[in-house]
Amino acid sequence: MASSPPSSPATASASGDAANDCFSELEDVNMQLAPDTVLQGLNDSRTELLSRVQNLKQDLHDWKGKLDTEVNSYNEEIGDLKNSLNSDVEQLKNEFQELRDTLKGQLAAATSKLAELDTSVVDCTHYLEGLTTHCELEKELFDDLIADIGLQDLDKEHSASFDHSNLEHAHAATVTLEEKVVD
């Protein structure tokens, strides 16, 4: 490889000036074209961004409207459920109150019946005591009557064969003795 001889400084300077002039003209053209292109690109980007922002705003507005609609719908549904629940609770309260009143009435009736039964038991006890006393008195009167008639020594064989006139006499004596006891 052969190397070329170095160029003279004057030749290099002249060729460098021509190249510099060329670059300088291109830079001027680019500088004039660049701001217009850059501005156009920025305007396009700005328009595109504004369009996207407007679309996002519209999407947000639509979403907010749908959300408001759903919230209102849920609030209405919750209100309806609350009213229904309150109605059911009131109905249950009324039913329980009726049941309570019925049970109180039944308890009062049962208590009254028990009191009546207690009174009846006491009355029955007094009645039975009086009946027992009365039976004892009647037995004594009957024994006295048998002794007065003279039938106390008869055995069972003879008791079936006695005449009815003695029974009539015994009945009359019993009535007389009862009158004496009552007096």
Query: What confidence score (pLDDT) does residue 144 get?
Result: 80
Q: Could you tell me the pTM of the whole model? A: 0.38
Confidence of residue 156 (pLDDT cuts 50, 70, 90): very low
Q: Tell whether 67 is covered by a domain.
A: yes
Does 101 fall in a domain?
yes
| The predicted structure's pLDDT at residue 155 | 47
Q: Could you count the other beta carbons within 10 Å of the beta carbon of residue 1?
A: 2
Q: pLDDT tens for residues 67-111?
A: 999 999 999 999 999 999 999 999 999 999 999 999 999 988 888
DSSP string, 80-142: HHHHHHHHHHHHHHHHHHHHHHHHHHHHHHHHHHHHHHHHHHHHHHHHHHHHHHHHHHHHHHH
Residue 124 confidence (pLDDT) = 76
Q: Is residue 82 part of a domain?
A: yes
For the segment 166-176, the average pLDDT, to the nearest whole number, is 54
CA 29, 34, 35, 40 torsion: positive or negative? positive
Residue 8 lies in a domain: no
Q: Whole domain around residue 118: which residue ranges?
A: 27-154+164-182
Specify the 3-state DSSP secondary structure of 8.
coil
**At 166, is the pLDDT very low, low, confident or very high (cuts 50, 70, 90)?**
low
Q: Is residue 46 part of a domain?
A: yes
> What pLDDT does residue 51 have?
94
Alpha-carbon torsion 61, 67, 73, 78, what sign?
Answer: negative
Give tens-digit pLDDT for 27-66.
Answer: 555 555 566 788 888 889 999 999 999 999 999 999 999 9
Residue 17 clears pLDDT 90, i.e. is over it: no
Residue 15 lies in a domain: no
**Position 157 confidence tier, pLDDT thresholds 50, 70, 90:** very low
Give residue 1's pLDDT band: very low, low, confident or very high (50, 70, 90). very low
Give the DSSP H/E element, type plus range, for residue 165.
helix 164-182
Does residue 19 lie within any of the structural domains?
no
* The total number of structural domains that make up the chain: 1
17 within some domain = no
Indicate the SS3 state at residue 7: coil
pLDDT in tens, 127-149: 778 778 878 888 888 888 777 77
The per-residue pLDDT for 116 is 81
d(CA 36, CA 33): 5
